[in-house]
């Protein structure tokens, strides 16, 4: 959507760019094609074209590949990103790595969350990728934003973001939903930041109005604005034969954005 003769606004992240720019420099979304929206209101995450560059601070991230995309960073001097160590693909010799100390180490350990987070500082190259087919989702974060992300789903975050974790209401979530009790929380204070996630399969986003709610399979949940409430509800299945077995669904209630991934492994699936 054009806002002036000389600028075009990204439909995904609302960043404005000069007219004729092929892709959004903040999130990589193609600017020459419209958002793909389903009849039920889900917007497909933009298909970032191979070799698209995204800018943050004095650094750039080039997205490479389409089946299991690689985030290839050229970190500028003074810039840094943090990440879980198992998503690293390659790096220059000269890029220093260090561990970020996190609060609640034992709690994180028992929750299955990463015990330590690694950080890489510029200048230099470092690249990241995940372990299954999917999409990179780029979420530029403006000052004052809070995002909750499924554990192990974040690929990298710029150092300007604050990182913590939050507990999901309902202890049963850990047993039934497969989502676990905790989610990663990313917060921006005064500076802008970049958050990059990997969703398995395809990723869709929907913006819920205040009070609007839908039920999501917990395995399909990927991210949400912290303003979106999440609670666990049970759908009874199996009847008397299985002793009244129930499946857990996450009720998400607006206002705010919620993102889902189309591929997930159900923790109670019995297929071979």
**Residue 32 within binding range of another protein, rule CB under 8 A:** no
Residue (202 or 226) nearer to another protein, CB: 202
Nearer to another protein, 91 or 152 (CB): 152
| Token pair of 69 as six digits | 């995309």
Residue 211 touching another protein (CB under 8 A):
no
- Of 71-79, 150-158, 170-178, 214-222, which part binds another protein (CB under 8 A)? 214-222
Measured distance CA(115)–CA(173) in Å, rounded: 21
**What is the bridge-based pairing of β-strands 88-91 and 80-83?**
unpaired
Cβ-Cβ contacts under 8 Å for 271 (sequence gap 6 or more)? none
237 lies in the site for another protein, by CB under 8 A: yes
* Binding piece for another protein, criterion CB under 8 A, among 3-11, 16-24, 83-91, 128-136: 128-136
Quick one: DSSP state of residue 37? B
Binds another protein by CB under 8 A, chosen from 30, 134, 140, 254: 134
What is the pattern of x (binds another protein, CB under 8 A) and - over residues 61-80? Answer: ------x-------------
Query: Could you tell me the maximum CA-CA distance found in the chain, to the nearest angstrom?
Result: 66
Dihedral sign of CA atoms 175, 117, 91, 187 in order: positive
Cis peptide before 248 (omega within 30 of 0): no
**Strand 256-261 vs strand 246-253: parallel, antiparallel, or unpaired?**
unpaired
For position 30 contacting another protein by CB under 8 A, the verdict is no
Number of residues near another protein (by CB under 8 A): 39
Identify the DSSP state of 34. Answer: P
- Identify the residue among 55, 217, 225, 231 touching another protein (CB under 8 A): 217
Report residue 4 as tokens. Answer: 């002036």
Q: Are 116 and 184 in contact (CB under 8 A)?
A: no
248 binds another protein (CB under 8 A): no
Q: Is 172 in the site for another protein (CB under 8 A)?
A: no
257 touches another protein (CB under 8 A)? no
By the rule CB under 8 A, 40 interacts with another protein:
yes
Distance CA 216, CA 54 (A): 31
- Interface residues with another protein (CB under 8 A) are 36, 38-40, 42, 44, 47, 67, 133-135, 200-202, 204, 213-217, 220, 235, 237-239, 241-242, 247, 249, 260, 262-266, 269-272
């Amino acid at each position: 959507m054009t806002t002036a003769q000389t600028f075009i606004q990204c439909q995904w992240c609302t960043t404005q760019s000069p007219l004729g720019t092929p892709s959004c420099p903040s999130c990589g979304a193609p600017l020459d094609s419209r958002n793909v929206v389903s009849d039920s209101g889900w917007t497909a995450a933009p298909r970032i074209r191979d070799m698209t560059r995204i800018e943050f601070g004095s650094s750039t991230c080039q997205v490479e590949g389409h089946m299991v995309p690689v985030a290839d960073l050229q970190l500028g001097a003074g810039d840094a990103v943090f990440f879980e160590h198992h998503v690293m693909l390659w790096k220059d010799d000269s890029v220093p790595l260090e561990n970020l100390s996190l609060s609640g180490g034992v709690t994180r350990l028992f929750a299955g969350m990463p015990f330590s987070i690694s950080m890489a500082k510029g200048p230099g190259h470092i690249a990241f990728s995940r372990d299954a087919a999917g999409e990179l989702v780029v979420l530029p974060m403006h000052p004052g934003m809070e995002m909750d992300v499924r554990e192990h789903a974040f690929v990298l975050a710029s150092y300007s973001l604050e990182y913590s974790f939050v507990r999901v209401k309902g202890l049963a979530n850990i047993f039934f939903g497969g989502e676990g009790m905790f989610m990663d929380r990313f917060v921006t204070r005064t500076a802008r930041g970049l958050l990059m996630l990997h969703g398995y399969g395809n990723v869709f986003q929907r913006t819920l109005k205040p009070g609007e709610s839908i039920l999501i399979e917990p395995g399909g949940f990927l991210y949400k604005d912290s303003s979106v409430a999440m609670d666990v509800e049970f759908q009874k299945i199996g009847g008397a034969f299985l002793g009244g077995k129930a499946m857990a669904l996450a009720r998400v209630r607006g206002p705010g954005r919620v993102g889902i991934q189309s591929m997930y492994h159900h923790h109670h699936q019995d297929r071979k």
